[in-house]
């Protein structure tokens, strides 16, 4: 007779309830509600979710799909099509390098390359210390100031690779000071 395998002591699983059984949280409902019954509003809703949360959290996408009546696969399909959308929380500092025409002819590529080289990340990525997230964006509407870099909502005009890196190095030093103060 075959002997029975010893009973394994599995970790206890505590069921925390299905978060989707509830209504969307109020801040998400205020994004979704104006777009109910609007089949063309999916991108707008995704943009607003990202603006509010800084990225597209999985749970919020599930709510949006259910509440607006889209298959979840369609929501992800649309979100993944545009590299503007992020699926991970951004780092402490968000860097947007403008890639519009005016910035392009003003050599924004050299700025982008310098940031990539210094930080060791590509567009859409976050440094392992979660200090910087790098994104390229289309025209930010300040073409006369090209090339433009936007760091944490602040627009920097007529940037060079060197000036951009000075700003990032300053933010890095600032973060180190803040962390040190927090440890005292």
Interacting residues with ligand FES (CB under 6 A):
98, 100-103, 139-143, 146, 148
Q: How far apart are CA 171 and CA 160, in angstroms?
A: 17
CB of 35 to ligand FES, least distance (A): 28
Of residues 153 and 180, the one with the C-beta less far from ligand FES: 153
Q: How far apart are CA 94 and CA 159, in angstroms?
A: 16
The residue of the chain with the least Cβ separation from ligand FES equals 100
CB of 112 to ligand FES, least distance (A): 12
| Burial group, residue 100, by CB count within 10 angstroms (0-12, 13-18, 19+) | buried
Of residues 101 and 174, the one with the C-beta less far from ligand FES: 101
Q: How far apart are CA 85 and CA 78, in angstroms?
A: 10
Of residues 42 and 148, the one with the C-beta less far from ligand FES: 148
């Amino acid at each position: 007779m075959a002997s029975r395998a010893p009973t394994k002591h599995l970790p206890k699983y505590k069921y925390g309830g299905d978060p989707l059984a509830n209504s969307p949280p109020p801040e998400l409902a205020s994004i979704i509600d104006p777009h109910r019954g609007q089949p063309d509003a999916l991108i707008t809703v995704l943009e607003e979710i990202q603006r509010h949360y800084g990225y597209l959290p999985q749970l919020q996408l599930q709510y949006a799909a259910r509440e607006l009546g889209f298959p979840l696969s369609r929501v992800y399909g649309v979100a993944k099509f545009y590299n503007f959308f992020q699926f991970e929380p951004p780092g402490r500092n968000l860097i947007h390098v403008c890639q519009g025409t005016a910035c392009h002819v003003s050599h924004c590529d050299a700025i982008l390359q310098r940031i990539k080289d210094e930080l060791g990340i590509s567009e859409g990525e976050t440094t392992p210390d979660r200090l910087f997230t790098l994104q390229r964006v289309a025209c930010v509407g300040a073409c006369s100031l090209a090339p433009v870099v936007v760091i944490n909502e602040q627009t920097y005009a007529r940037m060079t690779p060197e000036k951009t890196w000075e700003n990032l190095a300053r933010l890095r030093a600032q973060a180190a000071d803040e962390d040190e103060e927090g440890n005292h």
